[in-house]
Amino acid sequence: MSGVLVAGAGAFGTALAVTLAAEGRAVRLWARNAAQVGRMIADRENRRSLPGVTLPEALTPVADLAPAPGQTVLIAVPAQKLRAFLERNGSRLSGQRLVSCCKGVELSTGLRPSEVIAAALPDAETAVLTGPSFAADIARGKPTALTLAARDAATGRRLQAELSTETVRLYRTTDLAGAELGGALKNVIAIACGIAIGADLGDSARAALMTRGYAEMVRLATALGAEPATLAGLSGLGDLALTCTSLQSRNFAFGHALGQGTAFDPAKTVEGKATARAVAGLAAARGIDMPITTMVSAVLEESVTIAEAMDALLARPLKEED
């Protein structure tokens, strides 16, 4: 094994690098900012993204993105910055085995991360790693189960063996669409749930938003080619449950701040903001009913207030549950 390269030194990328290197595997963690790399080398800690976690000796921070031939590269950059990252580094990543760890839908195109990679690097071998996880839990060795999606079953088995650790268990699927859409769409519902809790609408309202939000997720994902069973698994229902119930989730915390009318750190990436707008557009273009997503998008665009959004949801026609 030639080791693993993790491209992206945010919280999740750092956590993946830490858990892989903790078992003695050679891991390189790439950050675009050379100064950040220098600090990680000196401190043996990524204080910017994952403070309090010691970087194992087998983990090497690097500023040069140069994967070895045939090396697995985990791409852990924000979904809305993925295309620019690939354009800058395409020559180095061409023909490599790439694992997308991005959660989102590209705002400008409506494409999933694996589709963005396929368009930019058609000769790359692409897989997806996603599921219910907080970076701090992974880095500190807390038990975590994730979804690994690869169209080729043999590739999935190889990556499963390479990327599993004692505390991170990977479950395989060949359904890239389901895995990616589950991970992206739940962020939008998490914002809605955060708003509800922040606005003191109660846990019953959150339960309703999670349940009806899950129905929206399945409705759109299956229309885009996903398997319903995938959405019922870790990367759909599992991730939804985690993200909608904890302030560790940036999407939930962002919605919570909106509901309370308080400020949220603008430096923190909230993937659900752009995804809400992208998905609302996809749903409208396809005639798919997604009222919660539509209201979240409208709130973010400030075309309606939170009170108006809640009134609109409560005024929807009474019908059978679907």
Phi, psi dihedral angles at 262 (to 5 degrees):
-110, 165
Q: How far apart are the first and last CA of the chain?
A: 48
What are the pLDDT digits (tens) for 20-59? 999 999 999 999 999 999 999 999 999 999 999 999 999 9
Check the CA dihedral 303-269-258-203 and report its sign: positive
CATH number for 184-314 (one of 1.10.10.410, 3.40.30.10, 3.30.465.10, 1.10.1040.10): it is: 1.10.1040.10
Nearest to 239 by CA among 105, 310, 154, 133: 133
- Region 279-300: what's the mean pLDDT? 96
Q: Do domains 4-174 and 184-314 have the same CATH topology?
A: no
What are the distances in angstroms from CA 45 to CA 33, 36, 65?
15, 10, 20
Q: CA 199, CA 258: separation in Å to the nearest integer? A: 8
Q: pLDDT tens for residues 106-156?
A: 999 999 999 999 999 999 999 999 999 999 999 999 999 999 999 999 999
Is 273 one of the annotated active-site residues of the chain? Answer: no
195-213 pLDDT tens trace: 999 999 999 999 999 999 9
Query: Of 81, 103, 142, 186, which residue is the catalytic one?
Result: 186
Pairing outcome for strands 27-30 and 4-7:
parallel
CATH number (3.30.750.200, 3.30.56.10, 3.40.50.150, 3.40.50.720) of 4-174 reads: 3.40.50.720
d(C-alpha 169, C-alpha 3), whole Å: 19
